[in-house]
Amino acid sequence: MATKGKGKSAKGKSGGGDDKPPRPELSDNGLKRVAHQAGAKRIDRRTHALQRTGHKAALGEMIHTAIILASNDRRKTVNSEDIKEAVKLRGGRLYGY
């Protein structure tokens, strides 16, 4: 008798399957790319940890604002309009949108 549904390998919401390892937050090359786009020619390697925490904090605040905007519209899904509005509320500029 064949079972319907998730198949053999899926374990449901309990997470009993093989999980992927967590992704790195922002690699050194990613930090270099951001710094070069901002206009820096060189950055010190010892500042990478500080930059990572700064980027993570700023991104967390931005996402938190976008979630609040979506919940005020009685939605559970954050869309690109929420992100654009969150950037505008935080005083940033977003080019190309």
**pLDDT tens sequence across 40-63:** 999 898 888 888 888 889 889 999
For residue 45, give the nearest of 59, 27, 66 by alpha carbon: 27
Domain definitions of the chain by residue range: 60-97
Considering the entire predicted model, what is its pTM? 0.62
User: What does the pLDDT read at residue 78?
Assistant: 95
8 A C-beta contact, residue 24 and residue 48: no
For the segment 79-93, what is each residue's pLDDT rounded down to a tens digit?
Answer: 999 999 999 998 888
3-state secondary structure of 3: coil
Quickly count helices (H) and strands (E) in the chain: 3, 0
C-alpha 86 chain-centroid distance: 14
Torsion angle of C-alpha atoms 44, 46, 51, 53, degrees rounded to 10: 180
Q: What is the CATH number of domain 60-97?
A: 1.10.20.10
User: What does the pLDDT read at residue 93?
Assistant: 82
